[in-house]
A = this chain, B = another copy of it.
Amino acid sequence: MTTASDQTEPKRRGRRAGGEDTKAVLLDAAREVFIARGYEGATVRSIAAKAGVDAAMVNHWFGSKENLFAQAVLKLPFDPTVLVARLLDGPPEQTGDRIARNFTTIWDATGGGPFAAIVRSVTSHDGVANVLREFFLTSVFAKITEGLDVDRVELRASLCASQVIGMGMVRYVVKFEPLASADVDTVVAAVGPNLQRYLTGDIG
């Protein structure tokens, strides 16, 4: 049986030579620090120190703290700042369709694994729910509503999140048919206008 102190060290031993090893060590360290200190409290410097590498390595491998968080905690294959820019690029009245199309396409490409992993983490670690809330809402959905010149940006952002998360739950976790196997165009036609109402419509 391994003890707790055994588990922290061996991971790093002999993995410092290649660059991919540094990246893996940074991802492990980032996950621990984000969950322990929250998104704001986890500095790039503290993550690098935990990993035993120079802080410049974070920039080299991940570009930004947001992207490190997306990969380490959310296990997302994309940089959320890039995603938000893409979602805001186009006619404002089609933002709902773009959100539906982008999230479905990205998650479909990985078989929904990253989404299911987020949900599992959220339900098993309180810390993950905290950082997810802090990050997903403020760095993704609130950025979209702020970019649209509407009122009640936070309520609209949390409503959009509810539909996107619910779509992910039904498509990748509980797999309710026919939505689970519907093609992307069907999902966009069904879900896009509902997201659009949350973004720019009359929400009461």
Interface residue SS majority, chain A? helix
Q: From A3-11, A39-47, A116-124, give the one contacting chain B.
A: A116-124
Does A198 reach chain B (CB closer than 8 Å)? Answer: yes
Closest 7 CB pairs of A and B: A166-B166, A189-B204, A158-B179, A162-B166, A162-B170, A158-B176, A120-B123
Does A58 reach chain B (CB closer than 8 Å)? Answer: no
If A119-B123, A155-B182, A179-B162 touch, whether A129 touches B174 (CB-CB below 8 Å) is yes
Residue of B155, B158, B173, B180 near A158 (CB, 8 A) is B180
Determine if B159 and A190 form an interchain contact, defined as CB atoms under 8 angstroms apart: yes
A158 / chain B contacts, CB cutoff of 8 Å = 170, 176-180
Does A57 reach chain B (CB closer than 8 Å)? Answer: no
Chain A, 170-193, contact with B by CB distance < 8 Å: what is the 0/1 string? 110111111110100110111101
In this complex, what residue of B is CB-closest to A194? B194
Residue of B122, B157, B174, B194 near A173 (CB, 8 A) is B122
The quantity of this chain's copies bound in the complex is 2
Q: How far is the CA of A89 from the CA of B146 in the complex (A)?
A: 39
If A116-B123, A159-B179, A165-B169 touch, whether A203 touches B190 (CB-CB below 8 Å) is yes
Determine if A165 and B154 form an interchain contact, defined as CB atoms under 8 angstroms apart: no
Does A132 reach chain B (CB closer than 8 Å)? Answer: yes
Q: How far is the CA of A170 from the CA of B133 in the complex (A)?
A: 9
A166 / chain B contacts, CB cutoff of 8 Å = 161-167, 169
Q: How far is the CA of A186 from the CA of B203 in the complex (A)?
A: 9
Residue of B162, B173, B191 near A159 (CB, 8 A) is B191
Does A84 reach chain B (CB closer than 8 Å)? Answer: no
A182 / chain B contacts, CB cutoff of 8 Å = 155
